[in-house]
Every structure is written in C-alpha cells, then in structure tokens.
Amino acid sequence: MGSSQKAEEAETELDDSFRTIGEVIMEFQNPSYCSPDIGPLNITFTKKRMSFLSIQVPAFELQSGVTTIVSAVGFELLTTPEILYNMVFTDEEAIDIRGVVPVLLDLVDVKVKVPAKIDNKPAFLREYSISPTLKELDSKTHKCLLELKVVIKINNPLPINFDLFGIELDLLYEKESDDNGVLSDDSNSTFLLHISDTKHVSWSSHEENSIVLDSAVHDFDTCMEVVGFYLHNQLAFDIEHGHIAMGAGSGNFSIPFSVKGIHIHPGAPNVSV
C-alpha cells in the first residue's frame, strides 16, 4: 500500500512540472583581457508575480571581447503549457527575468597613477599627434568627410610585461586667439567624437609603443567650423577621459590620461612631446 501511494505521488509531481530540452542564446561582453569562469546560471521568468519558466545554463569560460553562447539547456515549465501560452502570447504585460550570474574572479583591477617624468622624460605619454585630412566637403549636399589620425606613443615605465587590450578617449576641439597658441578668453572645448580601439598589443617592460587611432567626422556644420579654425591657424584639440586598459597575468590595470591644447598648424607635422 505504501509503495502504491509513493508511485501515485511521483506521477502527480511529474504532472505538475513539464520539462523539455532546448537552446538558449546569450551575448556577453568582456572588456578585459582576462577570462573568468561564469555560471552555472539559473534564470526564472515571471509575469504577474507568477513564475512560469526556469532554465539552467552550465558554467563556461568567458573569453575577452564579445562572446555569443549557444547552449543546450533544460527548460522546466512551472505551470501547464496552456497557462504558459496565455501568459506569454495573450497579454502585453512585461515579463520579469531574474537570475543569478556567479562569476569566479581570480583577477584584480588596479588603477595606476604614474609620475609625470622619469629620467627627465614623460613617464607615460611620450608623444602625441593629430592629423586632420579633409576628404570631402560639399555645400550643396551637405556631405563631409574629415579624417582624423590620432597617434599616441606610450611608454611602459614599469618592470612588468603587459598586454594592452584597449584604449579610448574623447576628442574635443577649440579656437585659439592668436598664432602663439593662446586660447581666447571665451574659448570652450567642444566635443568632437569618442574614439575606442580594442586591438591587442604585447607591451614589454620599459618599451615604447605607438598606437594609431583612425576616425572621421561626417557632420557638415562641425566640419565647417573645424576646417575654418584650421585655415585661420586657430585650431587646437584636447584629449579628455583617456583610458588605457592592460592585463598582466590574472590582473587588470588601467591608466587614465588627458592632454590639453594640442595645437594644429597648417603645413606643420603637429607632433607634441
């Protein structure tokens, strides 16, 4: 009698829960050069305070950059298929997605401040240059193509070999008041564009590396103003919110930088040290 009751209870439990196998597609972005272990993931879908679906995703290693995971998972319906259909397809109310994403972090993120100079040379930012090239400017169609090449020479002042995996910065422009590179009293820097690059560079100890960042401006009015400043020998650029991200072993390091008043003169190489 006891065995019969247990069998009936087991059948009831199976009737109350519906299981199937499927796939889930997820996209992750890892901005570092390290590869942490992610998961396992447990995700529950809820609507009108009623949980109707649960999935489990096995653990995996998250690589650097953008990773798309296509994983076979077990779906467990927490209600009947009929109720699930009604909740998902016949009601416009939003579905709440809740879960836990365990991340095994065997790394650290250290913000490094380097001194201004080492051996009477800039410790970090050795050289920088900005070269504007006007490719197209059509006043009838309001088309513009102003190419900008930003070259930054950076020095590794530490006795550690790094992997440089990301650099980003905001580029601003402003008007100089005279040929001596003096900014006018009412000069305000204007945001031009954001530059981001994720190419990998092996960076040995006490070694210099030149990073070339190519970008372009397409807004017609902005092109007109920048070109006008350039032709009148009044153009200057600023670099703000500069950030270089590096990896060493299982650790992340980041170095902020900024540059004020990069003067651009027609016909000059426009290199600053």
**Exposure of 132 by Cβ count < 10 A (0-12 exposed, 13-18 middle, 19+ buried)?**
buried
- Count of residues in the chain: 273
Write the pLDDT tens digit of every residue in 216-244: 999 999 999 999 999 999 999 999 988 88
Q: Which fold has domain 109-272?
A: Immunoglobulin-like (2.60.40)
Name residue, tokens 């798309």.
Answer: 68
Q: Which fold has domain 2-104?
A: Immunoglobulin-like (2.60.40)
Q: What are the C-alpha distances in Å from 67 to residues 24, 26, 45, 62?
A: 14, 8, 23, 7
Percent of the chain surpassing pLDDT 70: 70
Q: Where are the domains of the chain?
A: 2-104, 109-272
| pTM: predicted TM-score of the whole model, two decimal places | 0.56
Q: What are the C-alpha distances in Å from 69 to residues 24, 58, 100, 159?
A: 8, 11, 17, 38
Write the pLDDT tens digit of every residue in 197-217: 887 778 888 888 888 999 999
Fold match between 2-104 and 109-272? yes
Q: In 3D, which of 232, 233, 224, 236 has the Cα closest to residue 260?
A: 236
